[in-house]
Amino acid sequence: MSLYKEQKLLRPKIEDVAGKYLDAGRTAALLDFTGFIRANKIGVRWVSSNSWKLLYKKESLGYIKIYTGILGKPAAPHLYGSWYFCQQYGYLSRYYEMDDSDLKRFIFDNIYAKNCGNCICTNPIPNDIKIGYMEPTGCKCWPLRIFNPEGEWLEYTKLLIEHRMNFILEENELSA
């Protein structure tokens, strides 16, 4: 039975899968991240093999993916045993407008420019051309990917999600 079919039946939690594919350090970081998610009442829904959607007020915050390959193709060797958080294109301009230059630099360091046809790209934009860059991918779907965040990067990832949650709350207030 394929991993997808097996997981489709079980709908596993991130915590149930992390230790199978990640080393101890990456598992600990991912479990820290899932603790943050649950503490903030963010919904987590299994969507495909080792992939979970994060929801807040019925809006997408992004996805968590434990990387083992895509569409049956083998993953790039350097990605095996990795996990990442990714976010859609829609809110990038709002992040760029913020005053927090450290968070902006973090965002720029994690934007991927090339659409490989599977929307999982591993070609980062060189830092020297990121300044003011507003259109990171041709498909505009999942340009922001944070691979294996630990330490400061994990904290920035959490901050990014907090900002996204605030944007959702602001939009809900405006539409009410």
Sheet holding 59-67, edge to edge: 43-48, 51-56, 59-67, 82-87, 144-147
The total number of structural domains that make up the chain: 1
**For residue 124, is pLDDT > 60?**
no
Range of the domain at 152: 3-175
Among the listed residues 172, 129, 120, the one whose alpha carbon sits nearest the alpha carbon of residue 147: 120
Q: What is the pLDDT of residue 130?
A: 43
User: Quick one: average pLDDT of 99-104?
Assistant: 77
Nearest alpha carbon to residue 107 among 94, 116, 117: 94
pLDDT exceeds 50 at position 158: yes
pTM score: 0.79
Q: Please, are residues 133 and 140 in contact by the beta-carbon 8 Å criterion?
A: no
Q: What is the pLDDT of residues 29-88, one digit of tens each?
A: 999 999 999 999 999 999 999 999 999 999 989 899 998 755 445 555 567 788 988 886
Which of 126, 55, 116, 129 lies closest to 87, judged by CA? 55
φ, ψ (nearest 5 deg) of residue 87 = -130, 150
Residue 93: is its pLDDT beyond 60? yes
Q: What is the mean pLDDT of residues 131-157?
A: 68
Instruction: Provide the pLDDT for residue 126.
Output: 45
The Cα–Cα gap between 175 and 168 comes to 11
pLDDT of residue 141: 52
